[in-house]
Structure 1
Amino acid sequence: MRAREPDTTDKPHRLDNLTLARKEGWQRFVNTPARIPPEPLTRPELGALSDCAYEDYNRQRREWHANLGTIKTPQLAALHEDLWDIVDSNLQDGDKAKGAVAIDAFPGLGKTTSVLAFAREYHRREIAADGSQTREGHERWPVCRVGLTGNTGMLDFNRAMLSFFAHPGVSRGNAAQFAHRALDCVLACETRLLIVDDLHFLRWRNTSGVEISNHFKYIANEFPVTLLFVGVGLAARGLFSEGCTYEDAVIAQTGRRTTQLGMRPFAIDTDEGRREWRQLLLALEKRIVLADKHPGMLANELTDYLFVRSTGHIGSLMTLINRGCQRAIRTGAERLDGELLDRVKNDAASEKARQELAAAFDTRRLSTAVGKAG
């Protein structure tokens, strides 16, 4: 049978780097359909392609493996259930402050990915129920996302909100004026979820941090939104604690109104944890497009190896799989195995923990196999 030339007429629409900072980009993120994987081809079918078709097919695979999408892990599903509970319960009348949420977990556990997946579902639900325009004829934007930097103050934060809505008054004004304009945007666009990403960049115990904490309280009181914070080490930075100083008390007000949620890494100390790890690898196997891929390539042959290389962090695992697939395509290996992946570099944290974890597997103290003692 002659191999078919890959169909390249419907190329996926790429999302720009500012996707989540502007409402137009956010809409593209929400409405862009899921990528369609390239057609799996055998080695003989690969060999039958013309040079041009072969290069284009590899380009499709490069882009596919770099964007494998969100996998609905037990951690993601549990987080989404909690978020739906909180967001849907925040339908109080305007005289009541709404509770906030803080996703506080180590890097590489999929916090932002999970939050964005939830926000996309929430946006779609609200638009499906109420339409893309409000009764007054304004655009409806159920979600607004703001990313913080290390020196974000009230003025910068409010300007970022205005930039999301493409407000014309973003270039002139003070913090208070920006805040009133942002409130007008939220009310006009019926925004109900405000995501504040990278909250750990904020220096809580300086003037800027206290100002922002007070500003969050103002938003909770005056804006009809649920605040959703995402960050690393928020508890250690004092977001949920109460101290003796004025600054501690101010920051603790934010903590009193905030529900803390986390995300755990994959663990293999129980059969349930080992089954979760196996299901993740099986889901990844289905998405890989390599000519010599076969059932069990990840979930059987590389299960221990991949846990060692990723330390159970899904972000590190996805990085390793993506880079491994890129090398397998480029070198013609067309499969993933330990020899190929040994030549692929991963993030520094995983590489640092690799040697100690590998020793535990070598001595049989750890195993990802279901039914083995942890």
Structure 2
Amino acid sequence: MTDGQPLSLGNLALSRKEDFKTFANAPRREQPELLTRAELKALSAAARAAYNRLRREWHANLGPIKTPQLAALQEDLWDIVESNLQDGDKAKGAVAVDAFPGLGKTTSVLAFLREFHHREIAENGEYTAQGHERLPVCRVGLTGNTGMKDLNRAILEYFGHAGRNRGTATQFGHRALDCVLSCEVRVLALDDLHFLKWRKTSGIEVSNHLKWIANEFPVTLLMIGVGLADKGLFSEGTPSGDTVLAQTGRRTTRLGMRPFTIDSEAGRLEWRQMLLALEKRVVLADKHPGMLADDLSDYLFARSTGHIGSLMTLINRGCQRAVRSGTEHLDRDLLDGVKNDEASENARKELEAALESRRLTSRPRASRTAA
């Protein structure tokens, strides 16, 4: 909330420095007050509309939740970034966050980058010794048509450099290096790296260019994508690359994220903790303890297949419908009418059959005993 108005970050492009700073410096959202049905009914039409808008925005931004997966990834990222304090004459280790879609890669990395930005500014100030704006993080999103020149231009776009529209790939590269040095960037994050066509000429060029960045830029190169190993990131962009000799493979630490699983008691406990954390964040008048973690545990696992992105989408859309329809709680009847992503819907039937036949359960032993 700012000056009584809901905070809106919906019009940001994190590939620009001003928007990334806005994202990083935005105050944490305040959870709307949980009203009873009687209190909802007592609101005026205008007050109720304002309250429901707050809830719409809140439910659309429930994360990030510090799951074991997120915590483990961030610990590894801190290890790598903090160990990259070598002098400028030494190449720094790079990171590749490589995992399937829907597991929270980008969300987890952005949460880390936000914390890193805060720490660097707190320790070193908002401006460098030369008076330049300090930008600890540069975040660039790639597309399927990104070549070496496009990548350099994208870095210049982040800084709003005046020379980002005219020049050669080499000129763009040196301008990007000047920006990184002047603003004392410490982490260069490249998102959606899998969009590159690695086995095409442009992919090989970019692979070589990434090595140049790792050699010349005093930054930790943080790459995020899907199936990066299969696409040749660690074998120099060629299917037959010698991974033993490949420089990228030797310098890059590959990190992953796993889905939730329910084939062990530890996995079931993790799943329950996730649902309990979500329950606390849901703002619906008729919610009750165990609404997600007890009543809907198996159902939500089947609908999401243990992927946090699919789970968050389903809960978000379910809450929107519950508010709009006046249902004010989540149950199977309401959620059956809510569509989820195609991958989850396709895998749903087999999981549901196993859960309903009791061949599988998502509930830990203690919660089953209590029930």
Q: TM-score range by the shorter chain?
A: over 0.9
How much has 1:257 moved relative to structure 2? 1.2
Question: How many residue pairs get matched?
Answer: 367
| Equivalent residues of 2:194, 2:228 under 8 A apart | yes
> What residue is the counterpart of 2:276 in the other structure?
282
Q: Does 1:369 align with 2:359?
A: no
Alignment partner, residue 227 of structure 2: 233
Q: Is residue 305 of structure 2 the alignment partner of residue 331 of structure 1?
A: no
CA contact (8 A) 1:309 1:354 kept: yes
Alpha-carbon shift at residue 256 of structure 1 (Å): 2.1
1:165 matched residue in structure 2:
159
Residue 110 (structure 1) aligned to one of 94, 104, 107: 104
The 2-side partners of 1:26 and 1:160 are apart by 14
- Alignment RMSD: 2.0
Partner in structure 2 of residue 132 of structure 1: 126
Cα distance change of structure 1 residues 246 and 77 upon mapping to structure 2, 3 Å threshold? closer
* CA distance in 1: counterparts of 2:212 and 2:305, whole angstroms: 41
Assess, with a 3 A threshold, how the Cα gap between structure 1 residues 155 and 241 changes in structure 2: closer, same or farther. Answer: closer
* 2:253 equivalent to 1:259: yes
In the TM superposition, what are the counterparts of 1:1-374 in structure 2 within 5 Å? Answer: 10-241=4-235, 252-371=246-365
Deviation of 1:241 (Å): 3.8
Shift of 1:168: 0.9
- TM-score with structure 1 setting the length: 0.94
Code of the residue aligned with 1:40 in structure 2: it is L
8 Å contact kept, 1:134–1:189: yes
Deviations 1:149-191 (A, max 9, x none): 0010111111110111111111111110010000000000000
Q: Distance in 2 between matches of 1:22 and 1:256?
A: 31
**Residue 313 of structure 1 aligns to which amino acid in structure 2?**
H
Distance in 2 between the 1:221 and 1:286 partners?
A: 46
Q: Against the structure 1 CA distance between its residues 241 and 211, is the aligned structure 2 distance closer, same or farther, given a 3 Å change threshold? A: closer
For 1:157 and 1:249, how far apart are their aligned partners in 2?
24
Write the letter of the residue equivalent to 1:142: P
State whether residues 266 and 313 of structure 1, in contact with CA within 8 Å, keep that contact through their aligned partners in structure 2: yes
Cα drift, residue 245 of structure 1:
7.8
- Rounded to whole Å, the distance in 2 between the matches of 1:207 and 1:25 is 33
- 1:293-336 CA distances to partner (integer Å, 9 max, x unpaired)? 11110011001110000000000000000000000011110000
Alpha-carbon displacement from aligned partner over 1:50-90 (angstroms, at most 9, x marks no partner): 11111111111111101112100000000011011111111
Q: Residues 323 and 344 of structure 1 are in contact (CA less than 8 Å); yes or no, is this contact kept in structure 2?
A: yes
Provide closer, same or farther for how the CA distance between residues 61 and 237 of structure 1 changes in structure 2, counting only shifts above 3 A.
Answer: same
Q: How far is the alpha carbon of 1:30 from its aligned partner?
A: 0.3
SS across alignment from 2:175:
helix
Partner SS for 1:101:
strand
Structure 1 runs (4+) deviating above 4 angstroms are: 242-251
Q: TM-score, normalised by structure 2?
A: 0.95
SS in 1 for 2:221: strand
| Whole-angstrom distance in 1 between the partners of 2:36 and 2:192 | 43
Q: Quick check: 2:207–2:237 contact (8 Å CA) kept in 1?
A: no
Structure 1 counterpart of 2:82, one-letter code: D
Query: Which whole-Å CA distance do the structure 2 matches of 1:323 and 1:177 have between them?
Result: 47
Cα distance in structure 1, aligned partners of 2:306 and 2:348? 11
1: CA distance between counterparts of 2:156 and 2:95? 22
State the match for 1:4 in structure 2. none
Paired residue type of 2:135: W
Q: What's the secondary structure of 2:246's corresponding residue?
A: helix
- Segments of 5+ residues of structure 2 without an aligned counterpart are none
Identity of aligned residues (%): 71
Write the letter of the residue equivalent to 1:269.
D
The 8 Å contact of residues 210 and 250 in structure 1, kept in 2 or not, is answered as no
Aligned in 2, Cα 1:40/1:97: closer, same or farther, shift over 3 Å?
same
One-letter amino acid matched to 1:86: I
Greater alpha carbon shift after TM alignment, 341-350 vs 10-19: 10-19
The runs of 5 or more residues in structure 1 that have no matched partner are 1-6
SS in 1 for 2:21: helix
Q: Distance in 2 between matches of 1:288 and 1:40?
A: 9
Contact kept, 8 Å, 1:19 with 1:29, in 2: the verdict is no
- Specify whether residues 184 and 250 from structure 1 end up closer, same or farther in structure 2 by C-alpha distance, changes over 3 A only: farther
- Corresponding residue SS for 1:184: helix
User: Bigger CA drift: 57-66 or 109-118?
Assistant: 57-66
Give 2:44's aligned amino acid: S
